[in-house]
Amino acid sequence: MQLYIGLMSGTSLDAIDAVLVHLEGQHPKLLATHSHAFPKSLRKTLLSIVDPQQTKLQLIATLDRKMGLLLAQATLALISKSGASTTDIQAIGSHGQTLCHCPDGPSPFTVQIGDPNLIAEKTGITTISDMRRRDMAAGGQGAPLVPLFHNAVFRRVGTHRCILNIGGIANITVLSGEQTEPIQGLDTGPGNGLLDAWINQCLGRAFDQDGAWGASGTINQPLLQQFEADLFFSRPPPKSTGREYFSSHWLQRQLQCLGKTLPAEDIQRTLVELSTRTISQAIGKHAGSTTEVYVCGGGAQNGLLMAGITEKLPDCQLATTAELGIAPDWVEAVAFAWLAQRTLRGQAGNAPAVTGASREVILGGIYPGAIRQKGTDSIEN
C-alpha cells in the first residue's frame, strides 16, 4: 500500500498542514489530516526573520532545528490520529518553512528551514525535502512547484480550468482543455500575507475572519493605483515571489509615498482589492479561455476575497477544490506527498514551462529513515 505523508508550512504561518495520502492511480486518496499549531514564540521569530537586518546565522540554524522538530511532531501526531504505523509510510514530503525566496538577480537563492535529518530520525521515515533548489540549479524560479500535481490530478480534457491557490502569496495553474497544451503557472502577487500582517499590526489578530474587517472599509483608489504600479505585476512569467518582497516594509513604504493618513480599515479593504484585481488580471491575461476556477489555500475561507474574484471573473464558474475531491486546506500538503513519491521513483517534479528551468529535474534530497528513538529535544512555547 503506497502511503505517503505531506507536510506544508506556508507563508501565512497559520499552522503546519500534515496529510496521510494513499497514492496509487491518478487520484490521491486523503486518509487523514492534521493541523499542527506553531508555538507562539517560534511563530513570532519566524515572522521577524523576514527582515534582512535581523537575520543571523546562529538564529537561522536554531530555527532550522526547531522547525525540524516541530515538523516531526506534526508527522507523529498525524500518524497517531490516523491509526497507521510509521512502518506503513513510504516517505514524507516536506516543503519546509520558507525564510527567503529571491529567484532573481545575479545570485538567485531560496531558503527553506525544517531540518529533514531530524524529521527522518525522530519519525524513522524516509524524508524528501529541499525541493525548490534543484529547480533553481537548472535555471528555474524554484516555484511554484504544485502545477505538475494540479495537472496530474485536476486537468480535464475539453475543459479550460485554472487552479488558484491563495496563501500568503497567490499563484495560479493554467490547465488548458487541449491535451497538447503545456501547463502554465505563476505567482500573481499578494494573497493573504499583507492582509494578515496589517490586521495583526492594527488589531493584534492573526487574520481577518471572513474578511469582515476589510468589508467595513472603503477602497482608496490612489493607494490602489500606487500598489498596482509595482513592477512585479507587469513582469512576464516565469515569476515567483515571497513574503520578503510583499512584506510589512513594502506596505509601509507605499503608505509613506501616499503622503496622507487613511483609516486602517480602508487600507485593509484596498489590500483585498489589490489581491482580487491582480489575481483576476493574471487569469484574464494568462488563462483567457478559462471557464472554471477552483480555489485552494486559506483565502478560500475569506468571503470578501472570494466575492471580489467572482465579481471580476463573471464568465468563470468559481468553486473550491473540494468540488474536485480535495478540500482546499490540504491541496498543497497532498502535492508534496505526491512530489515525494515522484522523487523516490526517479521522476521529475518540476514543470519547466512554469518555473523557467532549462529541463525537467528530480526534486529534493532523500534522507533515509531510521529506527526512531525517544529524544530529549523540545520546542519552547
Q: What is the pLDDT of residue 210?
A: 95
**Which cell goes with 82?**
490516523
Instruction: Give me the amino acid identity at 92.
Output: I
Cβ neighbors of 373 (< 8 A, separation 6 or more) are: none
Distance CA 205, CA 208 (A): 7
SS3 of residue 145 by DSSP: coil
- Closest to 309 measured CA to CA, from 288, 345, 284, 336: 284
C-alpha grid cell for residue 175? 490547465
DSSP-derived letter for residue 139 is T
The upper half-sphere exposure of residue 100, i.e. CA atoms within 13 Å in the direction of its Cβ, equals 13
Three-state DSSP at 373 gives coil
* Total residue length of the chain: 381
For the residues of 73-123, what is the DSSP string, one character each?
HHHHHHHHHHT--GGGEEEEEEEEEEEEEE-SSSS-EEEEES-HHHHHHHH
Q: Taking the CB of residue 125, how many other CB atoms lie within 10 A of it?
A: 27
C-alpha pair distances (Å), 224 with each of 228, 270, 305: 6, 6, 15
Contacts of 56 by beta carbon, 8 Å cutoff, 6+ apart: none
Helix (H, G, I), strand (E, B), or coil: what is residue 358? coil
Does the global pTM surpass 0.85?
A: yes
Query: Do residues 18 and 332 lie in contact, with contact meaning Cβ atoms separated by under 8 Å?
Result: no
What gap in Å lies between CA 212 and CA 327, rounded to an integer? 23
Give the pairing of strands 292-296 and 317-320.
parallel
Alpha carbons 163 and 288: distance in angstroms, whole number:
13
DSSP 14: S
Say what the pLDDT of residue 6 is: 96
Q: Which residues pair with 97 in a beta bridge?
A: 9, 113
**Residue 83 burial (10 A CB sphere; 0-12, 13-18, 19+):** exposed
Whole-Å CA distances, 344 to 17, 93, 180, 254, 339? 22, 10, 27, 45, 9
Q: What is the pLDDT of residue 48?
A: 78
| First and final C-alpha spacing in the chain | 37
Structural domain boundaries in the chain: 3-141+332-367, 147-329
The rounded distance, in Å, linking the Cα atoms of 339 and 229 is 36
Query: In angstroms, how far apart are the furthest CA atoms of the chain?
Result: 61
User: Using CA atoms, how far apart are residues 311 and 332, in angstroms rounded to an integer?
Assistant: 26
- Cα gap 354→147, rounded to integer Å: 8
Q: Superfamily assignment of 147-329 in CATH?
A: ATPase, nucleotide binding domain (3.30.420.40)
- For domain 3-141+332-367, say whether CATH 3.40.50.920 is its number: no
Please tell me if the domain spanning 3-141+332-367 has the same topology as the one spanning 147-329. yes
Regions in the chain scoring below 70 on pLDDT: 50-55, 371-381
CA angle 201, 205, 206 (to 5 degrees): 100
